[in-house]
Amino acid sequence: MKLLLHTCCAPCSVYCIKKLREENIEPTLFWYNPNIHPYSEYKARRDCLKEYAKKKNVKLVLEDDYGLDEFVCGVLAGVDGENADEFLKTMLTRCEKYCYPKRFRKAFEYAKKNGYDTITTTLLYSIYQKHDEIIKIMQEMSKEYGVEFLYCDFREGWREGQDEARAAGLYMQKYCGCIFSEEESGIGREIGRKLKKQGISPTNQNVRKFIAES
């Protein structure tokens, strides 16, 4: 098996690399994440991954493409600026409608062109990503490109991977990547602080409930 591992960041790759190697699968990391903004954040995550890949002696392919304008325009394409409901719907579905497909397609194109027969992604590690949507998109592109999709539920190692990443001193980001998720993360942290003052656990579910009832 020659596997390409689409990789969003170093911390998320820790457990994925470990798990694959335990199965005697040696991955090639593939970086293509034009969703990450601003540039300082993009650079911090990219450079951290470069150093970690070197430390773990794993091959890394960099598709170095920072493009704020293209990403934002791609997410908002077709949205009527005066239609609040349409804008909200776009924000809620931006991951599966634009962000995931754009990144995965580049990975599949590279895999097909360079002789990789199998592909997967570190996004399957995150407990915050849309797991089922990722699987669906990967399966569809697998059929389109003729490259096998290896499904791994890396979430089982979430805490282990996070602990190892912190112990290794890796850069730990505070939001998914795009400017929209940065805003949502900031709002979530603010609401979380309010909930704590009320003696309520600031879980994602409680934060969403607070927003819905506000």
Q: Count of domains in the chain? A: 2
Looking at the structure, tell me whether residues 171 and 211 fall in a common domain.
no
Specify the CATH number for the domain of residue 128. 3.40.50.620
Confidence band (pLDDT; 50, 70, 90) for 179?
Answer: confident
- Rounded to an integer, the average pLDDT of 18-23 is 98
131 pLDDT more than 50: yes
Percentage of the chain exceeding pLDDT 90: 66
- Find the domain containing 198 and state its range: 179-214
Provide the whole-model pTM.
0.84
184 pLDDT more than 70: no
More confident residue, 176 or 45: 45
- Rounded to an integer, the average pLDDT of 149-166 is 97
Identify whether the C-beta of residue 178 lies closer than 8 Å to the C-beta of residue 33.
no
| Torsional sign, CA 76, 82, 83, 89 | positive
Looking at the structure, tell me whether residues 164 and 197 fall in a common domain.
no
Looking at the structure, tell me whether residues 172 and 66 fall in a common domain.
yes
Looking at the structure, tell me whether residues 98 and 184 fall in a common domain.
no
- Rounded to an integer, the average pLDDT of 26-43 is 95
Query: DSSP characters for 8-36?
Result: S-HHHHHHHHHHHHHTT--EEEEE--TT-
Q: Say how many CA atoms lie within 13 Å of 134 toward its Cβ.
A: 20
Query: DSSP characters for 117-172?
Result: -EEEEGGGT-SSS-HHHHHHHHHHHHHHHT-EE----GGGGHHHHHHHHHHTT---
Confidence band (pLDDT; 50, 70, 90) for 180?
Answer: confident
Helix/strand/coil for 4:
strand
